Structure 1
Amino acid sequence: MLKPLILTAALSSSIGALAAPTINNQQVEQQKNCFSGRFETYAIWRGMIENKIKRRVTEPQKIAQRMKVFDERFGEEQFNAFKDKLNCTNFKYKVDGNDVWGYVIKPKGSVQLLPTLIYNRGGNGNFGSVVFGAMMANLFPIAEQGFVIIGSQYRGTFSKDDNLDQFGGEDVNDVLALLDLIPHVNGADTNRIGMFGASRGGMQTHLAAKQTSKIKAIATIAGSADLKAGLEIRANMEKVYKNRIPNYAQNKDQELAIRSVLNWVDTLPKDRPILLIHGEKDKRVSATHSENLAAALKKHKVPHKLVLYPEDNHFLERSKSQADAEIVSWFKAHL
């Protein structure tokens, strides 16, 4: 994951220009190429970022420093390589009467069906949305290893109805609806479907997988497993819960328990392996979430693997390539 400074590169502009259909389904609208508009070339994208920084920062040295960080995290050579190797499409679909944005990323030119991964983003509302920078940092490196990746931005994102996100409520339907679209994605293997998520997306992953038998393996990165315990470490998350979760004031304990997989580990299937990845210096979602969940999974004989990075944070800035390799290896082994 990357810090919000980079991820908020431009919400609406990440939608791109019209592309040839990647999903052959009449319920899917406005399929658009990710590599278009402000993201057609690295130079255009970089110029947009630089202009945005200049509107906030006046000192040339600080501007140069921020652009250096951008170039180090992304880079023109890497951008062009991904553009050559991958198809990336943003699309709109309907869930419960709501317009929801999603995306599909897959290797170009594959002649065989590829395992499919549903990715669940973190954040809430527009914060944490999967804009182009997030795709390039977190999803392109995995997709190029031979996976179709499909994900939801969750209802309300990129719209005026930002309050539609219930943080693990009805928005979970936006994830489950992707299962109906996968059979219509060219090149996606419907018999090999996995799911992974980061931060809040870890919670979303467990909530969605709980309602289907189609998911064969799971991975979470810095995932939330016990929301109530998490408030003891990061109390300001209660503002998010109050704003997002329906009836939170009246049913706080119940609503947090529903969203916390640690409370219902005994219901998890014994044939769906779970990978848990966490940085031990994570100050947003403590590594104890994954450690405690791993202990519970062991107790209930649910196959799993816990990977901790002692010197890393919520965004896995030091261990990104290692974490990606773990994810790729996990799903190749279990799908």
Structure 2
Amino acid sequence: MPATPDSSETPGGASAFHDLSAFLAQPRVNSLALSADGGRLVAAVQNLSGDGTRFVSGLWEIDPAGEREAVRLTRSDKGESGPAFGPDGALYFLSGRPGDADGDEGEHEGAALWALPARGEAAVVARHPGGIAAFTVARVSGALAHTAGLLPGAADAEEHGRLRKERKDAKFTAILYEAGPTRAWDRDLGPEDPHVFVRATAGADPVDAGGQGAGLEAAGDAVLSPDGTRVAYTRFTVGRVPDENRTAVVIADATTGEELHVAGDLVHIYEAPVFTGDGTAVVCCRLRFPTYDEPWDGTLVRIDLASGEVDDLLPGFDNWPGGTVCSPVDDTLFFTAEEKGHSPVFRRDTDGTVTRLTASGAYGSLCVAPDGRTLYALRNAIDSPPRPVRIDAASADQAPVELPAPGAFDALPGTLTEVHVEADDGFPLRGWLVLPEGASAERPAPLLVSVHGGPEGTWNSWTWRWNPWPFAARGYAVLLPDPALSAGYGQRNHERGWGQWGGRPYDDVMALTDVTEARDDIDATRTALAGGSYGGYMANRVATSTDRFKAIVSHAGLWDLRMFQGDTDVPWYFQRIFGDPLTRPERYEANSPYENAAKIRTPMLVIHGAKDYRVPVGQGSALFQDLQRFEVPAKFLYFPDENHWILSPSHIKVWYETFLNFIDHHTLGAEWRRPGLL
């Protein structure tokens, strides 16, 4: 007898995954900060606001020894985020809450930089008209740098504030673009450009150390050398033609703003700079920008401050590194990289030897103890939300020690395993498989195939937006496949799928689906498929290629690639990898699901946010219109105020409800239930 989606019949009883309200109310640990002496560890933790309409972040003290329970340090309606310690023990953070000296709560817009001393009350350290986007603290000197915007013509924050007020009073919102991108993900770029402002001490006047250009993702990349004399940041550079748009790493004098070194060229993207422990060099990620024929490739490089020489630190390392931190005592580096369904922590020794420190899970927010012998990080996995852990910097393939913190789940409504199969070109494929409680040969579970975004992504970590466990609580097995183009399987996996979004990756998804459906605990007659972003594209591609699935859900999916490339926020990138649609239309014609719209027979749920600039909403609207035109059973869940991701708690809840009810109806034969308020 097939497994039922009725949670009341699920062995083990109800959990937070059976109740979406309880799932949304779960605390979420987001980032870590370690004090200069290694004695204090602080985490930013999100919770639902009192009215349940948004997520609010607060700061919690975590015991590095793991002996005491976590203690909440801050609480406000605006929330606190981005914690970092100064060398004197002061805890800095960003918050939009009013300060004691503020007369009117609405007087200041955006976040200010605050400092909470070891003893005493928090106070505002820096404000900027429109708010501060990010900040950094020099490890030894305590100098501060923050990233904030300046309007064209503004020489400093004061003039910027005056111009902002003039625009606001005139109800003036127009922006004049003369070059470069105009949008990023869910926001219009400009009219402000991000700049880095450095303060030699907490009370000193800020010095503009340089602009970051139109920076699509650059605002959080500024870092200070340990002594505070140098600042490094990512700058987006508009090319002579759009195809030459790139990001570079700038190293500047923190006092004068004079540019000392710029690491940037037309072949690579440079990003995420960090200073070495002695401040004599900067380490950053360098990505080889893809071409029509070659995919992305990445490594870590070292930029010597004396000579400007750039050295590759990971020659031959087959996956793309990130999340780099430097030991404060020597030239040892620690970084993360995707690897076969995980994202371990790696150590690079001074002789170039690379050692994997963790055996399983995905890691982020790395912090190094002052003696370089211990790491703290957030570990998460498909079956675990982010949890603070302690890692021995010397031991290979270890299981880190988890530290008490908010946000742990009591139990999961199922188990996690893996599936493996060989592709038709001989490449070994793998994916995660979530099995609901009670799935067996006697009670085979219906299957949901969930395709990740990217496409250079991977299923290796916890996600709150595409979490498989609410589906397991409803009785579904969930396959999380990593097809061609997925990260963590070496450069060969990118090469084998390059230029054929709907070709090799599609074949791999089908091969992993086949081997999963062949299991005796899976009901192959009741299978659905879904995906978001590139996964949404794959959902559309599947819908036009096969009728083997009972239902398909396409979230923010690409439908007509020719129309898409001119409307997305990064058209130059897609034209680079797909070609000029006027002179080289082959990949658009071969990979656009739109070309085969008349072949769709499977009921589809289309989901899209109006403020999505990466995959503009016209893609979802056009798909829905074509589904109606060809009389395919379809629904369109439209969010006028959401973007590429669905972020507000009430919308997340209705996203899950609509998704689950739709596949229940078409896959299991359940009566369609329209979620409340829709």
- TM-score in terms of structure 1 length: 0.73
Alpha-carbon distance, 1:251 to partner = 7.3
SS at match of 1:321: helix
Return closer, same or farther for 1:101/1:79 CA change in 2, 3 Å cut-off: farther
Work out whether residues 93 and 102 of structure 1, in 8 Å CA contact, stay in contact via their aligned partners in 2: no
Return closer, same or farther for 1:248/1:207 CA change in 2, 3 Å cut-off: farther
Structure exhibiting the larger radius of gyration computed from Cα positions? 2
Return closer, same or farther for 1:131/1:238 CA change in 2, 3 Å cut-off: farther
1:181 and 1:278 map into 2 onto residues whose CA distance is 31
Partner of 1:143: 472
Partner of 1:89: 417
SS at match of 1:317: coil
1:311 and 1:143 map into 2 onto residues whose CA distance is 29
| Amino acid of the structure 1 residue aligned with 2:438 | G
SS at match of 1:134: coil
1:238 and 1:142 map into 2 onto residues whose CA distance is 38
Is the aligned partner of 1:12 residue 2:339?
Answer: yes
SS at match of 1:50: strand
Work out whether residues 248 and 255 of structure 1, in 8 Å CA contact, stay in contact via their aligned partners in 2: no
2:418 and 2:530 map into 1 onto residues whose CA distance is 19
Alpha-carbon distance, 1:90 to partner = 3.3
The match for 1:292 among 618, 622, 630 is 622
| Amino acid of the structure 2 residue aligned with 1:100 | L
Work out whether residues 610 and 641 of structure 2, in 8 Å CA contact, stay in contact via their aligned partners in 1: yes
CA RMSD of aligned residues (A): 3.6
1:307 and 1:278 map into 2 onto residues whose CA distance is 7
Alpha-carbon distance, 1:103 to partner = 1.5
Partner of 1:50: 365
1:227 and 1:290 map into 2 onto residues whose CA distance is 12
SS at match of 2:585: helix
Return closer, same or farther for 1:251/1:108 CA change in 2, 3 Å cut-off: farther
The match for 1:188 among 492, 517, 522 is 522
| Amino acid of the structure 1 residue aligned with 2:453 | G
Deviations 1:79-113 (A, max 9, x none): 534x5322122344211211223111121234522
| Amino acid of the structure 1 residue aligned with 2:454 | G
Alpha-carbon distance, 1:317 to partner = 1.5
Partner of 2:14: none
SS at match of 1:232: helix
Partner of 2:513: 179
1:307 and 1:144 map into 2 onto residues whose CA distance is 23
1:107 and 1:330 map into 2 onto residues whose CA distance is 19
Partner of 1:315: 645
Work out whether residues 124 and 165 of structure 1, in 8 Å CA contact, stay in contact via their aligned partners in 2: no
The structure richer in strand per residue is 2
2:406 and 2:426 map into 1 onto residues whose CA distance is 41
Partner of 1:206: 540
2:638 and 2:549 map into 1 onto residues whose CA distance is 24
Partner of 2:587: 255
Work out whether residues 279 and 287 of structure 1, in 8 Å CA contact, stay in contact via their aligned partners in 2: yes
1:163 and 1:239 map into 2 onto residues whose CA distance is 17
Alpha-carbon distance, 1:275 to partner = 0.3
SS at match of 2:416: strand
| Amino acid of the structure 1 residue aligned with 2:568 | R
Alpha-carbon distance, 1:241 to partner = 6.0
Is the aligned partner of 1:153 residue 2:482?
Answer: yes
Partner of 1:59: none
Alpha-carbon distance, 1:151 to partner = 2.9
Work out whether residues 562 and 581 of structure 2, in 8 Å CA contact, stay in contact via their aligned partners in 1: no
Partner of 2:610: 280
Return closer, same or farther for 1:262/1:136 CA change in 2, 3 Å cut-off: closer
Deviations 1:175-216 (A, max 9, x none): 111232123334211110111111111221232343333211
Is the aligned partner of 1:107 residue 2:441?
Answer: no
The structure richer in helix per residue is 1
Work out whether residues 448 and 479 of structure 2, in 8 Å CA contact, stay in contact via their aligned partners in 1: yes
Partner of 2:573: 239
1:250 and 1:97 map into 2 onto residues whose CA distance is 36
Work out whether residues 74 and 137 of structure 1, in 8 Å CA contact, stay in contact via their aligned partners in 2: no
Alpha-carbon distance, 1:14 to partner = 4.3
Return closer, same or farther for 1:290/1:284 CA change in 2, 3 Å cut-off: same
Deviations 1:279-305 (A, max 9, x none): 111111111111111112111111100
Work out whether residues 565 and 575 of structure 2, in 8 Å CA contact, stay in contact via their aligned partners in 1: no
Question: Higher relative contact order by CA 8 Å / sep ≥ 6: 1 or 2?
Answer: 1
Alpha-carbon distance, 1:226 to partner = 1.2
2:522 and 2:431 map into 1 onto residues whose CA distance is 16
1:155 and 1:262 map into 2 onto residues whose CA distance is 22
| Amino acid of the structure 2 residue aligned with 1:197 | G
1:237 and 1:38 map into 2 onto residues whose CA distance is 37
1:172 and 1:94 map into 2 onto residues whose CA distance is 14
Return closer, same or farther for 1:211/1:297 CA change in 2, 3 Å cut-off: closer
Return closer, same or farther for 1:225/1:15 CA change in 2, 3 Å cut-off: same
Is the aligned partner of 1:120 residue 2:454?
Answer: no
Return closer, same or farther for 1:15/1:108 CA change in 2, 3 Å cut-off: farther
Deviations 1:258-282 (A, max 9, x none): 322233222222xx21100111111
Work out whether residues 604 and 635 of structure 2, in 8 Å CA contact, stay in contact via their aligned partners in 1: yes
Partner of 2:268: none
Work out whether residues 285 and 314 of structure 1, in 8 Å CA contact, stay in contact via their aligned partners in 2: yes
1:74 and 1:234 map into 2 onto residues whose CA distance is 32
Question: What is the aligned-residue identity percentage?
Answer: 20
Tell which deviates more after alignment, 87-96 or 282-291: 87-96
The match for 1:224 among 521, 536, 558 is 558
Tell which deviates more after alignment, 272-281 or 92-101: 92-101
2:610 and 2:464 map into 1 onto residues whose CA distance is 24
- Give the number of equivalent residue pairs: 286
Deviations 1:15-72 (A, max 9, x none): 49xxxxxxxxxxxxxxxxxxx9544xxxxx7xx4332xx47xxxxxxx99x99xxxxx
1:186 and 1:77 map into 2 onto residues whose CA distance is 38
| Amino acid of the structure 1 residue aligned with 2:599 | T
1:210 and 1:106 map into 2 onto residues whose CA distance is 28
1:106 and 1:300 map into 2 onto residues whose CA distance is 35
